[in-house]
Structure 1
């Protein structure tokens, strides 16, 4: 059985995209992550040191979004998944990167890429 920690709607300004304007002006990206791990040790001892501290995770994810620009949100999602899996307790992760201001000349609600990665 795998438990989950979810962090939804994390917002940060990044400069990712293929178009020069995206690299120059930047835009807001929204990130959702779900971590698959065993939460029993933390729950049994009521100890934050035995789980993933979601505040610290959010800091690391924002560093990636605000950091080195990439062309594709697929690449950004992969980098975010690597951050999630850096904690050895995390067995799997699902990462969604939303680009609500994508340069599409038609009305739309959202553009998103979701990837799932695991240690196995």
Structure 2
């Protein structure tokens, strides 16, 4: 499948992390999601009902990032992948969670994890 929907740079505030101060203060997380989905039905019909509505997906992902805290961004990425796969039209998803304000005592540009999950 070569059809994809890509949502990049979705920013949301969350309280994830292993340190108490991360949970108390919170920080921004940035999410990229690449969904593998057959876009032919939507292309034929020109109807948003025949595709994954990326605006609605963005709302669900932001709600999850802002929701129940987890220790690891790996866990958050898994949660977000599950949200994407909840739509049966999504055959696979690659989710990257960026933590640009990670508590690292050195200058860095980004910390991120990327996972790919497929339907069985």
TM-score band by shorter chain is over 0.9
Q: Which 4+ runs in 1 deviate beyond 6 A?
A: none
In structure 2, the partner of 1:14 is: 14
Structure 2 length as normaliser, TM-score? 0.99
Structure 1 length as normaliser, TM-score? 0.99
Q: Which runs of 5+ in 1 are unaligned?
A: none
Q: CA deviation at 1:72?
A: 0.1
Provide Cα deviations, 1:23-75, integer angstroms capped at 9, x if missing partner. 00000000000000100000011010000000000000001000000000000
In structure 1, the partner of 2:71 is: 71
In structure 2, the partner of 1:118 is: 118
In structure 2, the partner of 1:101 is: 101
- Alignment RMSD: 0.5
Q: CA deviation at 1:104?
A: 0.1
Q: What is the aligned residue count?
A: 120
2:84 is paired with a residue of what secondary structure? Answer: helix
Q: Which runs of 5+ in 2 are unaligned?
A: none
